[in-house]
Amino acid sequence: DGGITQSPKYLFRKEGQNVTLSCEQNLNHDAMYWYRQDPGQGLRLIYYSQIVNDFQKGDIAEGYSVSREKKESFPLTVTSAQKNPTAFYLCASSDSTTNEKLFFGSGTQLSVL
C-alpha cells in the first residue's frame, strides 16, 4: 500500500537532547513537508522540500533541522534549541506536478520529560 509512514508514534525528549522524527513515503512524491500542531491549534509549517537535496524554512523553523538525501525520506530533528517542543508533528507529501493534495502521515506526539 502506498502511503506515508511516520515513526515513532510517541517520543519523549530529555532536556538538552536532540531527537529525530522519521518520515518515509512510497508515493513517489517530489514535495515533502513538516508541520507542527499544538493543542486546539492549526498546522504550522516548519520545513518543506520540493526536490532531493533542497529544502526551505517554513514559518517556525528555529530549533529544527531537516535533510532530504533521498526522495522517499525527510527526517526532522528537534534540537535542544527548541525550548518548547511538546506538540503533534505531522509529515506530509504531495505530487506538485499533477496532484496538489497533501497526504499526511499518522503523526508523532513529542513530549518533554
Partner 1 sequence: QKEVEQNSGPLSVPEGAIASLNCTYSDRVSQSFFWYRQYSGKSPELIMSIYSNGDKEDGRFTAQLNKASQYVSLLIRDSQPSDSATYLCAVKHNFNKFYFGSGTKLNVKP
User: Are the C-beta atoms of residues 34 and 91 closer than 8 Å to each other?
Assistant: yes
Shortest separation between residue 3's beta carbon and partner 1, angstroms: 11
Please give the C-alpha separations between residue 50 and each of 18, 20, 81, 109, in angstroms, as whole numbers. 25, 20, 26, 25
Q: Which three cell numbers stand for residue 19?
A: 531527537
Positions that interact with partner 1 (CB under 8 A) = 31, 33, 35, 40-45, 48, 50, 56, 58, 88, 90, 92, 94, 96, 100-107, 109
Shortest separation between residue 59's beta carbon and partner 1, angstroms: 9
Q: Which lies closer to partner 1 via its Cβ, residue 80 or residue 95?
A: 95
Q: Which lies closer to partner 1 via its Cβ, residue 57 or residue 70?
A: 57
Shortest separation between residue 98's beta carbon and partner 1, angstroms: 12
Q: Which lies closer to partner 1 via its Cβ, residue 11 or residue 80?
A: 11
